[in-house]
Amino acid sequence: MAEYVIENGRIYTEFETIETGYIIVKSGKIAGLGKGEYEGTLPKYDANGLHVLPGFIDIHIHGGYGEDAMDASETGLKHFAESLLSEGTTSFLATTMTQSDDNIIKALKNIVKYQANHNKYQAADIVGIHLEGPFISEHKVGAQNPKYVQRPSIEKIQQFQNIANQQIKVITFAPEVSGARETLAAFHDKIKFSIGHTVATYDEVNEAVEQGARHVTHLYNAGTPFEHREPGVFGAAWTNDTLSTELIVDGIHSHPAAVKIALKQKGNKQFFLITDAMRAKGMPDGEYDLGGQNVHVKGAEARLESGALAGSILKMNEGVKNLMVFTGESLDKIWRVTSLNQAIALNIEHQKGSLAVGKDADIVILDNDQTVCATIKEGEIHQFEKRIF
């Protein structure tokens, strides 16, 4: 495999931002990283004036570019994962919907099959599965299909996990429903339980955290809102330091000020940028399917017939840009909400999530407008509309 150097970039590392530095890539890994000028003999790519970050990790994404994880199509997943490189995403959790057991099982089997066969240099990695439902509350379905909501059981989760070859890393669930407590006790060591699509009270959320829940799904959407006498799911998310939370930062799912409050409350280590994107991302306006329901997509919005928001068409690099605008924060502070926090949560931080010697060379290079200039996937350079090399 090619060996080369990315030089003159502004490099974001776990410990500091290097104003001008270089990264040496060898055999798909980061082999060196330093300040100032590179003086060796390897081929050089000039990233002068550009931002060099770890590749994005999207832990909540159903689809995009015409594809959906629920389609259970191997070629569809391939196209989806390849296309994600264009927005800087190098790893993601394929996210399922509240659907029939049969359809969920088909999707799980397809993901496992795809993982065994795919070319890791040419596409974003599926680093696991996010099961969004079916163990949610029928009172907060959002764009999930209420027909297929069911109660959690140890047997069902074990069955799904076995079919998924232990790849289920996150389950979005409602902690107040019957069976939730038992399944949390049985699986919280192995699976990250994320509170979402729920009518849990503030107290119920905090109890679920004591039992092992660790995350909140799409903060502000499909949960009990903050009230000053009943702070609800979102009040608990703000104040419980054990909980991390994810946000769809498209300016539609939440008001920019609500995003700013969330970052202030959670800090940059417990805030995860997600897209929650569906298949219309990267596609023209029109009619699309989401988990068997019809979705109208116009401009930046995707809605069911009922008017309920139906996932997003957000791209990760656009989310980064929005987050900077909404909060007034710099990349120095927020880069880790796109990668490192997720890598730690998924226990893959030894391999991914930051720019450090020995880790995979999963790198995104952005300009000052957060346009993706290049995405490097385990050493392989991909360029899009704006070519820099």
Give the interface with Zn ion as residue ranges (CB under 5 A): 132, 142, 276
At residue 165, what is the residue type? N
For Zn ion, which is the closer residue by CB, 164 or 290? 290
Q: How far is the CB of 388 from Zn ion (least distance, A)?
A: 33
User: For the chain, how many residues are written?
Assistant: 389
Q: How far is the CB of 214 from Zn ion (least distance, A)?
A: 17
For Zn ion, which is the closer residue by CB, 342 or 354? 342
Q: How far apart are CA 216 and CA 195, in angstroms?
A: 5
For Zn ion, which is the closer residue by CB, 28 or 134? 134
User: 43 Cβ partners below 8 Å, 6+ apart?
Assistant: 2, 3, 4, 5
Annotation marks residue 46 as catalytic: no
Retrieve residue 21's tokens: 């530095």
For Zn ion, which is the closer residue by CB, 81 or 277? 277
Q: How far is the CB of 230 from Zn ion (least distance, A)?
A: 22
Of 58, 125, 276, 362, the catalytic one is: 276
Q: Which residue of the chain is nearest Zn ion when measured via CB?
A: 276
For Zn ion, which is the closer residue by CB, 138 or 367? 138
**Cβ proximity of 51 and 86 under 8 Å:** no
For Zn ion, which is the closer residue by CB, 12 or 56? 56
Q: How far apart are CA 159 and CA 318, in angstroms?
A: 37
Q: How far is the CB of 345 from Zn ion (least distance, A)?
A: 17
Q: How far apart are CA 347 and CA 169, in angstroms?
A: 10
Residue with tokens 């290049």: 374
**Cβ proximity of 49 and 365 under 8 Å:** no
Cα→Cα distances 299→248, 308, 312, 324, 341, Å: 16, 15, 11, 21, 30
Taking alpha carbons only, the member of 37, 128, 94, 139 closest to residue 352 is: 128
Q: How far is the CB of 62 from Zn ion (least distance, A)?
A: 6
3-state percent breakdown (helix, strand, coil) of the chain, nearest 5: 30, 30, 45
Find the angle CA(159)-CA(99)-CA(169) to the nearest 5 degrees.
Answer: 50
Q: How far is the CB of 95 from Zn ion (least distance, A)?
A: 6
- List, by residue number, the catalytic residues: 276
